[in-house]
């Protein structure tokens, strides 16, 4: 398990008609506040505020093809050469990180060959690093190196 120290800064939320919306700092737009979106936006703040990953190197909810099926990843962090280094799958807080959750992100990993794979529900985060052709569990996420 990776211990996440979230920043003091919190996502911006507003009331819009009868619903609550949360501002996505990466996509620069207001989105419906869902439990999963709350986790995603807080994790984005952790990546940018605590680990200092530039927002220009982060993609959110982008579509890709897995065989003939269209999928969307939650978060991908790139290095300065725009190669994916971290893929993050976000789940809502009451969804446990299970074998099926890990299987989902491992499917994405077959297409997006990142160095690190993370799964978070906001409270718990697990991660793996690709070393040669094996995945090894990690206990921390390295900060951005310029």
**Is 145 part of any domain?**
no
Considering the domain boundaries, does residue 43 fall inside one?
yes
Q: Give me the half-sphere count of Cα atoms (radius 13 Å) on the Cβ side of residue 89.
A: 24
Q: Is 3 within a domain? A: no
Residue 135 token pair: 């995945």
Contact 120, 74 (CB under 8 A): no
- Model confidence at 73: pLDDT above 90: no
Decide if 43 contacts 88 (C-beta within 8 A).
Answer: yes
User: Which secondary-structure segment (H or E) carries 40?
Assistant: helix 35-45
In angstroms, rounded to a whole number, what is the distance separating the alpha carbons of residues 29 and 41?
12
Per-residue model confidence as pLDDT tens digits over 109-143: 777 888 999 999 999 999 999 898 888 999 999 99
Total number of domains in the chain: 1
**pLDDT tens per residue, range 17-69:** 999 999 999 999 999 999 999 999 999 999 999 999 999 999 998 877 777 87
Q: CATH number of the domain that 113 lies in?
A: 3.90.1570
pLDDT at 102: 84
Residue 144 belongs to a domain: no
- Assigned domain for 146 exists: no
> Domain for residue 42, yes or no?
yes
Q: Which residue matches tokens 């120290």?
A: 5
Give the global pTM: 0.92
Domain assignment present for residue 78? The answer is yes
* Strand 134-138 versus strand 84-90 pairing type: unpaired
Model pLDDT, residue 99: 86
pLDDT exceeds 80 at position 74: yes
The answer to whether residue 143 sits within a structural domain is: no
Domain interval for residue 43:
13-138
Tell me what the mean pLDDT of segment 85-106 comes to.
89
């Amino acid at each position: 398990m990776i211990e996440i120290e979230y920043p003091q800064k919190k996502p911006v939320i507003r009331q819009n008609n009868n619903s609550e919306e949360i501002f996505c700092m990466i996509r620069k737009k207001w989105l419906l506040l869902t439990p999963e979106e709350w986790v995603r936006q807080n994790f984005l703040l952790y990546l940018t505020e605590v680990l200092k990953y530039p927002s220009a190197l982060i993609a959110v909810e982008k579509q890709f093809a897995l065989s003939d099926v269209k999928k969307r990843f939650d978060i991908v962090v790139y290095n300065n050469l725009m190669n994916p280094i971290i893929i993050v799958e976000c789940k809502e807080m009451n969804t446990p990180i299970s074998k099926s959750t890990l299987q989902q992100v491992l499917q994405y990993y077959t297409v997006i060959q990142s160095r690190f794979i993370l799964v978070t529900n906001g409270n718990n985060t697990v991660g793996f690093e690709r070393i040669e052709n094996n995945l090894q569990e990690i206990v921390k996420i390295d900060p951005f190196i310029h």
